[in-house]
């Protein structure tokens, strides 16, 4: 019988202790592992296994469902933060490389998954479904690892996040494909694949168009209105950080809602929302007002005298410039840090990684046959993603091959090389100029500024021209792409629930053998990927400190161009 309200009952001491220990250990384990191996998320996954249904069952099913739902909110915010940290100029500059990495990370795992035909006696459809689960890259894990290692804004981080986003868009299209199959005997129609793919492409195209042709003109119109009346209600309203928080939240919710109803990934939409706000912060000019001094002067002198005083002092009010996210308190990153960072890092993100632990059927996975098949399949899936790092390797060729390649290159039009050089120099110059403006002392002379600009440009050019002398960048990229995480578990669970992995030998009430083998691969890849990345980054930091002691360029010796922001 339905009731009008939920009766309030005080939780028992056992429930209080279980929930308290769960929350405390999630954060304590994350702190310890982040400061030692840069992979605190692993402790949260293991804690989810121990406290949840796969382990001690201390958390009730209802509690686990709440943790999963709150954890997914954390995943949306993790991806949104990654979009806010994205430099669209860097993404455009590395789009071709990111696409090559993404295609490699998608095609190889799907192709290698057909080894299940012999390994487990799977059908082609079952092998395709397993490959669909293993072709994705965990966005939550990727952004978390990059954030803890400090590489999220480096060129390596840009390539990695772009490739991981492409992999996940394809993976989430696969979710729609697998869920539409219905059963193992269902056929794949064109509409099953094309519709979610076209919706994703349309969303990626429409979002930039809306930014350029709607958001930018509206912003410029508002800028003109604010300039005419700097003490008006509109300007004071828009300068309030709480208003910026409301606007950013509405943009995020609007994108997530629209993408869900349209049939594409809401994680992709969260990333687009963050990247759009990042573009608005950095590419659209914004007026700058000194709100406190303007208000005080207005009370004493009036607006006309303020204008005269500004002119006599040689300044303009307001000053138009592109907004630096590090200086403005209303930028996307500052608003995120102020309103979302603490609940995300302390509660929502730990819940998300713990919810991954809930999904691992650990008690059914240690049958001897399933273990060795799972290890073999895991090795194949690691190879499939580690190959992505080959795109970052500096490959040496023999003199004969090099001479033939040089002769062939002479036949190409030299304008292509010239155009590429111009684009690269323009991008580097604009980045260095912006960095010099932020770091230049206010009382420095023009000659000092010119010398500083030349020094910064020369240093950056030296760093960007140095190729890495190791395979560390390729190893970091390949290992970071290895983690499958949430999307892999989602696709495999959908396939299992739709009986795609089921065979005639599958026992009722138990998971199928193929599902358990796939789960082994997803679990081990999600654990080993971040762990190895953390170990490699620790080694890179040790090398950098050693190079610093010798007084030589740090990143040029270890990561080369891939470590440059």
Quick one: 499 exposed, middle or buried, by C-beta within 10 A (0-12, 13-18, 19+)?
middle
pLDDT at 321 over 80: no
pLDDT given at position 271: 86
pLDDT at 382 over 50: yes
Which of 151-165, 323-337, 343-357 is predicted with the least confidence, judged by mean pLDDT?
Answer: 323-337
Note whether residue 450 is domain-resident. no
Least Cα distance to 357 among 43, 48, 44 occurs for 48
Phi and psi torsions of 183, nearest 5°: -155, 170
* Higher per-residue pLDDT: 138 or 382: 382
* Alpha-carbon gap, residue 420 to 436, rounded angstroms: 24
* Alpha-carbon gap, residue 48 to 390, rounded angstroms: 34
DSSP letter for each residue of 489-506: HHHHHHHHHTTSS--TTP
pLDDT at 163 over 80: yes
Note whether residue 419 is domain-resident. no
| DSSP one-letter code for 190 | H
pLDDT given at position 363: 84
Phi and psi torsions of 137, nearest 5°: -130, 130
Q: Yes or no: say if 475 and 93 are a contact pair by the CB < 8 Å rule.
A: no
Q: What is the token pair recorded at 432?
A: 């260095």
Note whether residue 378 is domain-resident. yes
Q: Any alpha helices (H) in 154-189, and if so which ranges?
A: 155-181
Phi-psi sector, 152: left (phi>0), alpha (psi -120 to 50), beta: alpha
The model's pLDDT over 57-108, given as tens digits with 9 standing for 90+, comes to 999 999 999 999 999 999 899 889 888 887 778 788 888 898 999 999 999 9
Torsion of Cα atoms, 251 then 252 then 254 then 259, to 10°: 130
pLDDT given at position 540: 82
Least Cα distance to 500 among 173, 188, 53 occurs for 188
* Higher per-residue pLDDT: 550 or 57: 57
* Alpha-carbon gap, residue 528 to 520, rounded angstroms: 12
Phi-psi sector, 289: left (phi>0), alpha (psi -120 to 50), beta: beta
pLDDT given at position 418: 57
| DSSP one-letter code for 214 | I
| DSSP one-letter code for 321 | E
Parent domain of 82: 13-284+323-393+467-563
Cis status, amide bond into 373, omega within 30 of 0: no
Task: Kindly state the average pLDDT of the residues 172-195.
Answer: 63
Task: Kindly state the average pLDDT of the residues 369-390.
Answer: 93
pLDDT given at position 460: 45
* Alpha-carbon gap, residue 219 to 276, rounded angstroms: 14
Task: Kindly state the average pLDDT of the residues 353-375.
Answer: 89
pLDDT tier at 301, thresholds 50, 70, 90: very low
| CATH number of residue 58's parent domain | 1.20.1530.20
Note whether residue 451 is domain-resident. no
CA 245 to each of CA 54, 97, 325, 342: distance values in angstroms, whole numbers, following the listed order: 39, 34, 14, 15
DSSP letter for each residue of 324-353: PTTT-TTSHHHHHHHHTHHHIIIIIHHHHH
Q: For the whole model, what pTM was predicted?
A: 0.72
pLDDT given at position 88: 79
pLDDT given at position 188: 58
% residues pLDDT > 70 (the chain)? 72
Q: Yes or no: say if 26 and 357 are a contact pair by the CB < 8 Å rule.
A: no
Note whether residue 315 is domain-resident. no
Which of 169-178, 278-287, 353-362 is predicted with the least confidence, judged by mean pLDDT?
Answer: 169-178
CA 500 to each of CA 31, 180, 195, 271, 276: distance values in angstroms, whole numbers, following the listed order: 40, 11, 21, 31, 38
Task: Kindly state the average pLDDT of the residues 127-153.
Answer: 80
The model's pLDDT over 400-458, given as tens digits with 9 standing for 90+, comes to 444 554 565 565 556 555 554 554 454 445 444 444 444 444 444 444 444 444 444 44
Task: Count other C-beta atoms under 10 Å from residue 242's C-beta.
Answer: 11
DSSP letter for each residue of 338-405: HHTHHHIIIIIHHHHHHHHHHT--GGGS--HHHHHHHHHHHHHHHHHHHGGGGGG------HHHHHHH
pLDDT given at position 557: 54
Note whether residue 277 is domain-resident. yes
* Higher per-residue pLDDT: 559 or 482: 482
Q: Yes or no: say if 125 and 136 are a contact pair by the CB < 8 Å rule.
A: no
Vertex 554: Cα angle to 549 and 556 (nearest 5): 145
* Alpha-carbon gap, residue 204 to 275, rounded angstroms: 11
**Is residue 322 classed as helix, strand or coil in its secondary structure?**
strand
Task: Kindly state the average pLDDT of the residues 142-171.
Answer: 79
| DSSP one-letter code for 288 | E
Distance between alpha carbon 400 and the CA centroid of its chain, in Å? 42
pLDDT given at position 110: 92
Q: In whole angstroms, how large is the CA radius of gyration of the chain?
A: 27
How many structural domains does the chain have? 1
Note whether residue 241 is domain-resident. yes
Angle, helices 472-482 vs 139-149, to 10°: value is: 140
pLDDT given at position 471: 83
Note whether residue 198 is domain-resident. yes
Least Cα distance to 336 among 441, 241, 434 occurs for 241
Q: Any alpha helices (H) in 239-348, and if so which ranges?
A: 241-262, 266-283, 291-300, 303-312, 332-339, 341-343
Q: What is the token pair recorded at 46?
A: 């293991």
CA 525 to each of CA 375, 380, 451: distance values in angstroms, whole numbers, following the listed order: 10, 11, 49
The model's pLDDT over 238-295, given as tens digits with 9 standing for 90+, comes to 888 899 999 999 999 999 999 888 877 788 888 889 989 999 988 888 877 654 444 4
Vertex 540: Cα angle to 151 and 381 (nearest 5): 70
* Alpha-carbon gap, residue 414 to 363, rounded angstroms: 63
Torsion of Cα atoms, 86 then 92 then 94 then 99, to 10°: 100
pLDDT given at position 409: 54
pLDDT at 170 over 70: yes
Phi-psi sector, 512: left (phi>0), alpha (psi -120 to 50), beta: beta
pLDDT given at position 443: 47
């Amino acid at each position: 019988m339905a009731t009008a309200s939920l009766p309030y009952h005080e939780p028992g001491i056992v429930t209080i202790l279980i929930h308290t220990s769960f929350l405390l250990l999630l954060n304590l384990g994350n702190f310890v592992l982040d400061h030692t191996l840069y992979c605190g998320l692993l402790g949260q996954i293991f804690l989810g296994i121990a406290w949840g249904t796969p382990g001690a069952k201390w958390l009730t099913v209802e509690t686990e469902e709440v943790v999963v739902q709150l954890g997914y909110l954390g995943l949306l915010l993790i991806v949104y933060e990654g979009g806010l940290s994205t430099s669209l100029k860097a993404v455009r500059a590395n789009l071709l490389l990111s696409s090559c990495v993404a295609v490699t990370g998608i095609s190889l795992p799907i192709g290698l998954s057909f080894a299940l035909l012999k390994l487990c006696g799977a059908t082609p459809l079952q092998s395709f479904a397993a490959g669909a689960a293993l072709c994705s890259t965990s966005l939550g894990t990727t952004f978390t690892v990059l954030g803890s290692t400090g590489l999220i804004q480096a060129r390596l981080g840009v390539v990695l996040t772009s490739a991981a986003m492409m992999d996940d868009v394809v993976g989430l299209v696969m979710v729609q494909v697998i869920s539409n199959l219905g059963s193992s005997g269902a056929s794949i129609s064109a509409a099953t694949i094309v519709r979610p793919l076209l919706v994703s492409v349309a969303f990626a195209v429409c979002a930039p168009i809306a930014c350029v042709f709607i958001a930018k003109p509206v912003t410029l119109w508002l800028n003109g209105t604010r300039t005419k009346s700097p003490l008006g209600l509109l300007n004071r309203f828009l300068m309030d950080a709480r208003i910026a928080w409301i606007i950013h939240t509405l943009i995020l919710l609007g994108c997530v809602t629209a993408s869900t109803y349209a049939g594409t990934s809401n994680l992709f939409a969260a990333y687009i929302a963050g990247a759009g706000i990042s573009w608005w912060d950095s590419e659209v000019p914004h007026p700058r007002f000194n709100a406190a001094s303007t208000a005080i002067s207005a009370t004493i002198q009036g607006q006309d005298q303020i204008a005269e005083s500004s002119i006599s002092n040689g300044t303009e009010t307001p000053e138009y410039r592109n907004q630096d996210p590090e200086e403005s308190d209303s930028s996307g990153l500052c608003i995120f840090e102020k309103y979302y960072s603490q609940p995300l890092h302390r509660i929502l993100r730990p819940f998300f990684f713990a919810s991954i632990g809930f999904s691992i059927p650990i008690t059914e996975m240690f049958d001897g046959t399933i273990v060795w098949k799972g290890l073999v399949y895991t090795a194949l899936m690691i190879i499939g993603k580690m190959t992505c790092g080959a795109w970052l390797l500096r490959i040496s060729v023999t003199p004969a091959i090099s001479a033939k390649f040089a002769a062939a290159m002479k036949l190409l039009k030299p304008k292509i090389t010239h155009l590429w050089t111009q684009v690269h120099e323009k991008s580097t110059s604009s980045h260095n100029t912006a960095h010099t403006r932020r770091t230049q002392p206010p009382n420095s002379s023009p000659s000092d500024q010119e010398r500083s600009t030349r020094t910064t440009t020369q240093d950056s050019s030296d760093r960007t021209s140095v190729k890495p002398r190791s395979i560390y960048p390729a190893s970091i990229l390949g290992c970071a792409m290895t983690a499958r995480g949430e999307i892999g578990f989602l696709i495999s669970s959908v396939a299992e629930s739709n009986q795609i992995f089921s065979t005639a030998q599958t026992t009722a009430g138990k998971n199928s053998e193929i599902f358990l083998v796939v789960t082994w691969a997803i679990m081990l890849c999600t654990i080993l990927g971040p762990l190895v990345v953390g170990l490699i980054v620790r080694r890179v930091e040790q090398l950098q400190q050693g190079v610093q002691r010798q007084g030589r360029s740090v990143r040029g010796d270890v990561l080369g161009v891939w470590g440059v922001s």
